[in-house]
Amino acid sequence: MELIAKYHVETDLPIQKAAEAIAAEQSTGTWTAVRGQNNPLAARVILAEGNNVEIGFPEELFEPGNIPQYLSVVAGNLFGLGDLKKVRLQDIIFPEGLLRAHRGPGFGIEDARKILGVYGRPLVGTIVKPKVGLDPAGTAAVAAAAVRGGLDLVKDDETLTDQSFCPLIPRLEAVMAALDKVETQTGKKAFYAVNVTAGADKILERALQAVDRGANMVMIDVLTAGFSALEDLSRHVKVPVHVHRTMHGAFTRDKGHGIAMLVISKLVRMTGGTNLHTGSYLGKMARETLENDLSRDALRGDWHGYKRVFPVASGGVYPAKVQGNLDGYGIDCIIQAGGGVHGHPDGTTAGARAMVQATDAWLKQIPLKEYAKDHKELETALKFWGS
């Protein structure tokens, strides 16, 4: 069996030569001839056509369960090869032997829905804004106001961890107490994704402490902390894991070079995320529709028995952008707005209600402007931000 890596390659070399260079560099080769060129662990060129290259790597090249080592093979020195102008890792097809080394999510879409008691609709979430600068009490007040407006999830910003102005445990305790109060008053349950991102020596301990203090979801910045950190959290922390993709643009933005979001999506599902930011169909960080489609399907399709993962649409989302994102992602997604909630002229609770109303309009297939006639928060949002 072998792992198959698919690349987009731009080069002045004949594409077959470029493919052979990648196969050699990432398996048994070097810049000059050495003995043992018939090594059984040499990678092979499966396809070299146009700008498309597929390389087959023998399964024995990989240490099962070691994601960093996988990436050193399929996304290693090849990016620095001088004869290649650009290289983009588009996809990885994993052999069953490697997939068996990973458990996938401990909590998937169905588990998250069961915890909240929410079925048959997308989840609607927000990020606390301002993104940094609030103390624990201020953070809790914003979170409570959002959930009072009907939101299902409140998350920390990716840059907020355990800084002195808003320490993690006091923040967590304040937010959970506020959400418990809202639930007692309204019956509304919500997740709070507290950001436990830290170094390898601290992240699991931090997450376990958070859960011990009442966290019902933890969050990790997966590309800065690492896929192995995510996998450690998923295996040992008994709550869902929200996965942020901060820094992804360094890999995904150039369509000719880097690593595609599809690869990141597959690795997150293998290593245990419950939710993953995948991009918006409409919004300030919107990218190509195909990229979103591929990530969506990788997270939710049948794959090795892994639980399904929520794609998250976020970044410049507000009520008028809801329909376009839900047309792309469907019911099993999280539609998330930061400024699109807290920037509402009537405040956070009204902004949350407007997002929920926009989602309801999509579910009922009622045009947004028509639905807004009987829903004042949505009407105000459409007038303020446009429709």
Helix (H) or strand (E) holding 326: helix 319-329
pLDDT for 288: 74
Tell me, yes or no, whether 181 and 209 share the same domain: yes
Tell me, yes or no, whether 226 and 309 share the same domain: yes
104: in domain = no
Tell me, yes or no, whether 66 and 122 share the same domain: no
The model's confidence at residue 140, banded by pLDDT at 50, 70 and 90, is: very high
CA distance readout (Å), 190 to 148, 182, 193, 195, 295: 10, 9, 10, 16, 25
Q: What is the mean pLDDT of the chain?
A: 95
195: in domain = yes
Beta strand pairing status for 84-93 and 44-49? unpaired
Helix, coil or strand: residue 176: helix
Which DSSP string do the residues of 180-227 spell out, in sequence order? Answer: HHHHHHH----EEEEE----TTTHHHHHHHHHHTT-SEEEEEHHHH-H
CA distance readout (Å), 132 to 61, 153, 170, 175, 383: 44, 18, 15, 15, 28
Question: What residues make up the domain containing 315?
Answer: 109-385
Tell me, yes or no, whether 70 and 139 share the same domain: no
229: in domain = yes
pLDDT for 356: 98
The domain that holds 251 is classified in CATH as 3.20.20.110
Tell me, yes or no, whether 94 and 159 share the same domain: no
CB-based contacts of 141: which residues, under 8 Å, 6+ apart? 178
Tell me, yes or no, whether 126 and 251 share the same domain: yes
The model's confidence at residue 387, banded by pLDDT at 50, 70 and 90, is: confident
Tell me, yes or no, whether 60 and 163 share the same domain: no
167: in domain = yes
Which residues are marked as active site?
129, 244
Q: Which of 47, 77, 99 is the last residue of a domain?
A: 99
Q: What is the mean pLDDT of residues 304-310?
A: 98
Tell me, yes or no, whether 57 and 145 share the same domain: no
pLDDT for 40: 81
d(C-alpha 137, C-alpha 119), whole Å: 31
CB count in 10 Å sphere of residue 34: 10
d(C-alpha 243, C-alpha 237), whole Å: 14
Structural domain total, the chain: 2
| DSSP bridge partners of 44 | 56
pLDDT for 216: 98
Helix, coil or strand: residue 299: helix
Q: Which of 45, 73, 99 is the last residue of a domain?
A: 99
Q: What is the pLDDT of residues 4-15, one digit of tens each?
A: 999 999 999 999
Helix, coil or strand: residue 86: strand
pTM confidence score: 0.96
Q: Which of 77, 99, 121 is the last residue of a domain?
A: 99
Tell me, yes or no, whether 48 and 139 share the same domain: no
Tell me, yes or no, whether 128 and 250 share the same domain: yes
The domain that holds 37 is classified in CATH as 3.30.70.150
Tell me, yes or no, whether 269 and 198 share the same domain: yes
Q: What is the pLDDT of residues 231-270, one digit of tens each?
A: 999 999 999 999 999 999 999 999 999 999 999 999 999 9
Dihedral class, residue 344 (left if φ above 0, else alpha if ψ from -120 to 50, else beta): beta
Planar angle of CA 246, 251, 254, nearest 5 degrees: 120
The model's confidence at residue 27, banded by pLDDT at 50, 70 and 90, is: confident
Tell me, yes or no, whether 92 and 118 share the same domain: no
302: in domain = yes
